[in-house]
C-alpha cells in the first residue's frame, strides 16, 4: 500500500516525465512539483481501498459567476438564473476532463452545484489530474459519522401530557398560529438520514402526498448510491435508516392531528433528501442533496425543475476537519451557490460531544460559513446547552461571530420512524426550530421568500438577546451578538409581527432595512 510520502514521490516522477525531464531544468521541475503537490489533500490517501482505488473530488479552476443573482427580483428568477449558469459552467468546463476520465476507465460522478467531479481512481490518475491547469484542487471525500450528545434526563410521564410542548411554547409559535399563520404556502427541504414519510405526523405535510396518491418525483431524492441499511441504495421513496431525520422533520412540520403540538410550522410542506448512510455522510452526498434542492428532479434524476425548489433547507449535520473534511472551498462554494438561488440554508452549529464547551468549537462545514444561518441550542431554562458549540467560526483566517441565533435543543420531543415518538438533544434539534420560524414568516409575508437577507435580518433582530460570562474570540459574552448565543434565542411571534409590520420597527434597522414596495404602499 502506498503511503502519503509515496504519493508525492510519484508526483515528482510524473511531473518530470510530463514536462520533458531531458530538457527541463531541475529548478523548474522542483517548482512544478511543489505547485502540483499543493493541489492534493494529504488526507486523500485515507480513502485508499484494498484494490488501490482512491476516492477524491476534482474542484475545477473555473467556477460560475453568480453575482448577478442578487439583483434579480424574485426567488423564481434567482433559481432559474443560478441553475442555468451553474449547468452551463459545468458543461463548458468539465467536458475535456470527463473525456479523459472515461479514457482512464475511472469511476466518476459529475456535479454542477459547484464545478466539481467525484472520482474513484488510482494514484497515477491522481497525479495526472494534479498537473492539469483546469484542476484547481483535489480534495478528500471523507466519510463523516453523525455525532449527537447524550439525550440527558428524559421527561417524566407527568411532563409528557402537555398540549403544547415546552419548546414550542417558549418560542411563542402558538401565538402565531392564532394569527392564522401555520406555514401554509411555504416549503421546507430537509437533508438528513432520511424520513419516514408515512409517519402519521409527517404524511399529510409531505408535498408528494395529495391525500390519496403519493408522487415522489420532485419531492424526494436519495444521495446514497450504495449501502443504505434498511432503506438500501437509491430508495425510490422517502426512508430513514437511522431515525435522526424523521425527528428533525417532526420539529419543523409534524402534526398527527392529535392534541399534542410539537412542531413550529405544522401547515408547511416538506420535501427531503437522504445525505447519510446510517449516519455517515460525505461532502459529495451533502453536495448531491444541495444540488437536487436547487432544481428537484424526478425519481430517475431527470428533468430538473428549479421552480420546485424549497424556500428553506434544514441541515442537521456537520463535516469536521478532524475526520478529514478539509475541503472548505468545496462546501463553501456549494452553500453560497444555494443561497444565490434564493434558498435559506439553516445549519446546526454542531455539538461539543465532550460536554466541555470551548470557544471556537463551531469549526465544521457548513456551520462555519457566512452564507449558512447557524443555530446553537438552549435548554428549557433558556441557557446555552452544555453540548452546544461556541464561536467564533474561522474561514481563511477570518473570524466571524457564530452562531447567528439559538433555539431549544435539549430534550426535544418529536416523531421517530415507525409511527413512534421520543426526545432527542442536540443542535440538530435546534436548527429545525429556525427553519420552521422561516416558514411561518414567509407564510405571513410571502414576499420574504424573495429576500432571504431580509428574512435573516428579521429573525436575528427580533431574537431575545442573551448574554454570558464567556469571552470567545475577543468578543465579550456581555455584548450582542456574541459567540455563545449569537443575537439570542429566537422569538417566533416577534419575527412574524415584524414581517407583517416592518414600519413599526424601522428605526431599529435603518439603514440595513427597507420595506418591499408592497409594504411601502400599504
Q: DSSP 3-state assignment of 119?
A: strand
In degrees and rounded to multiples of 5, residue 419 shows phi and psi of 80, 15
What is the reported pLDDT for 264? Answer: 98
Model pLDDT, residue 516: 47
Q: What SS3 state is found at 252? A: helix
Per DSSP, 156 falls in state P
Q: For position 143, what pLDDT does the model report?
A: 84
Tell me which H or E stretch contains 140. Answer: strand 135-140
| pLDDT at res. 502 | 74
Per-residue pLDDT of the chain (522 residues; tens, 9 = 90+): 444 444 444 444 344 334 444 444 454 545 555 566 789 988 888 777 778 889 999 999 999 999 999 999 999 999 999 999 999 999 999 999 999 999 999 999 999 999 999 999 999 999 999 999 999 999 988 888 877 766 544 444 444 445 899 999 999 999 999 999 999 999 999 999 999 999 999 999 999 999 999 999 999 999 999 999 999 999 999 999 999 999 999 999 999 999 899 999 999 999 999 999 999 999 999 999 999 999 999 999 999 999 999 999 999 999 876 555 765 689 999 999 999 999 999 999 999 866 566 899 999 999 999 999 999 999 999 999 999 999 999 988 899 999 999 999 999 999 999 999 999 999 999 999 999 999 999 999 999 999 999 999 999 999 999 999 999 999 999 999 999 999 999 999 999 999 998 766 555 555 555 554 344 333
Other CB atoms within 10 Å distance of the CB of residue 14: 19
Given this model, what pLDDT does residue 201 score? 98
pLDDT digits (tens, 9 = 90+) for 22-72: 444 454 545 555 566 789 988 888 777 778 889 999 999 999 999 999 999
Start-to-end CA distance of the chain, whole Å, equals 70
Residue 513 has a pLDDT of: 52
Can you give the pTM of this predicted structure?
0.89
CA distances from 99 to 149, 345, 410 (A): 46, 34, 51
- Cα 501 to Cα 495: distance, rounded to the nearest angstrom: 10
Burial of 157 (0-12, 13-18, 19+ CB in 10 A): exposed
The pLDDT score that the predictor gives to residue 507 is 57
Neighbours of 443 (CB within 10 A): 25
Look at residues 122, 131, 104, 175 and name the one whose alpha carbon lies nearest to residue 38.
131
Going by the DSSP 8-state scheme, the letter that residue 360 receives in this structure is T
**In residues, how long is the chain?**
522
Please choose, from the candidates 141, 252, 274, the residue with its C-alpha nearest in 3D space to the C-alpha of residue 196.
274
> What distance in Å separates the CA atoms of residue 11 and residue 155, rounded to the nearest whole number?
58
Domain ranges of the chain: 4-141, 157-518
Write out the H or E segment, with its range, that includes residue 31.
helix 26-37
d(CA 432, CA 416): 15
Domain 157-518 - what CATH class?
Answer: alpha beta
Amino acid at each position: 500500500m502506498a503511503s502519503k510520502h509515496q504519493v508525492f514521490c510519484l508526483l515528482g516522477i510524473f511531473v518530470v516525465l510530463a514536462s520533458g525531464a531531458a530538457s527541463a531544468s531541475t529548478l523548474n521541475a522542483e517548482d512544478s512539483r511543489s505547485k502540483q503537490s499543493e493541489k492534493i489533500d494529504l488526507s486523500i490517501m485515507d480513502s485508499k481501498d484494498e484494490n488501490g482505488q482512491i476516492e477524491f473530488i476534482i474542484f475545477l479552476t473555473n467556477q460560475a459567476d453568480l453575482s448577478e443573482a442578487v439583483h434579480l427580483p424574485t426567488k423564481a428568477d434567482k433559481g432559474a438564473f443560478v441553475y442555468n449558469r451553474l449547468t452551463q459552467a459545468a458543461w463548458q468546463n468539465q467536458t475535456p476532463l470527463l473525456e479523459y476520465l472515461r479514457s482512464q476507465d475511472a469511476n466518476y460522478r459529475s456535479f454542477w452545484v459547484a464545478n466539481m467531479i467525484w472520482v474513484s481512481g488510482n494514484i497515477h490518475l491522481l497525479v495526472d489530474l494534479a498537473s492539469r491547469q483546469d484542476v484547481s484542487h483535489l480534495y478528500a471525500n471523507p466519510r463523516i459519522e453523525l455525532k449527537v450528545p447524550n439525550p440527558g434526563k428524559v421527561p417524566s410521564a407527568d411532563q409528557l401530557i402537555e398540549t403544547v410542548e415546552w419548546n414550542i411554547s417558549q418560542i411563542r409559535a402558538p401565538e402565531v398560529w392564532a394569527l392564522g399563520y401555520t406555514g401554509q404556502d411555504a416549503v421546507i427541504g430537509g437533508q438528513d438520514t432520511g424520513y419516514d414519510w408515512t409517519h402519521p405526523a409527517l404524511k399529510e405535510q409531505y408535498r408528494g402526498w395529495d391525500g390519496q396518491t403519493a408522487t415522489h418525483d420532485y419531492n424526494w431524492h436519495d444521495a446514497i448510491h450504495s449501502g443504505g441499511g434498511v432503506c438500501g441504495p437509491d430508495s425510490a421513496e422517502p426512508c430513514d435508516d437511522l431515525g435522526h431525520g424523521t425527528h428533525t422533520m417532526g420539529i419543523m412540520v409534524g402534526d398527527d392531528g392529535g392534541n399534542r403540538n410539537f412542531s413550529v410550522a405544522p401547515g408547511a410542506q416538506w420535501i427531503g433528501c437522504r445525505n447519510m448512510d446510517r449516519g455517515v455522510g460525505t461532502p459529495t452526498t451533502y453536495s448531491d442533496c444541495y444540488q437536487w434542492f436547487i432544481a428537484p428532479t424526478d425519481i430517475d434524476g431527470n428533468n430538473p425543475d428549479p421552480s420546485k425548489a424549497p424556500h428553506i433547507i434544514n441541515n442537521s449535520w456537520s463535516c469536521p476537519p478532524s475526520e478529514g473534511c478539509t475541503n472548505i472551498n468545496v462546501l463553501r462554494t456549494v452553500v453560497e451557490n444555494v443561497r444565490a438561488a434564493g434558498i435559506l440554508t439553516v445549519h446546526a452549529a454542531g455539538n461539543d460531544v465532550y460536554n466541555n464547551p470551548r470557544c471556537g468549537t463551531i469549526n465544521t462545514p457548513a456551520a462555519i460559513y457566512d452564507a449558512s444561518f447557524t443555530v446553537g441550542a438552549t435548554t428549557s431554562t433558556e441557557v446555552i446547552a452544555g453540548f452546544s458549540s461556541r464561536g467564533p467560526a474561522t474561514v481563511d483566517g477570518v473570524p466571524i461571530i457564530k452562531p447567528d441565533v439559538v433555539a431549544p435543543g435539549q430534550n426535544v420531543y418529536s416523531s421517530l420512524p415507525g409511527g413512534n415518538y421520543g426526545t432527542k438533544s442536540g443542535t440538530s434539534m435546534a436548527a429545525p426550530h429556525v427553519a420552521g420560524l422561516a416558514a411561518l414568516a414567509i407564510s405571513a409575508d410571502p414576499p420574504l421568500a424573495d429576500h432571504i437577507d431580509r428574512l435573516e435580518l428579521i429573525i436575528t433582530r427580533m431574537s431575545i438577546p442573551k448574554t454570558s460570562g464567556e469571552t470567545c474570540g475577543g468578543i465579550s459574552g456581555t455584548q450582542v451578538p456574541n459567540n455563545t448565543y449569537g443575537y439570542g434565542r429566537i422569538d417566533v411571534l416577534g419575527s412574524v409581527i415584524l414581517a407583517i409590520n416592518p414600519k413599526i420597527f424601522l428605526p431599529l434597522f435603518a439603514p440595513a432595512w427597507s420595506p418591499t414596495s408592497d409594504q411601502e404602499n400599504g
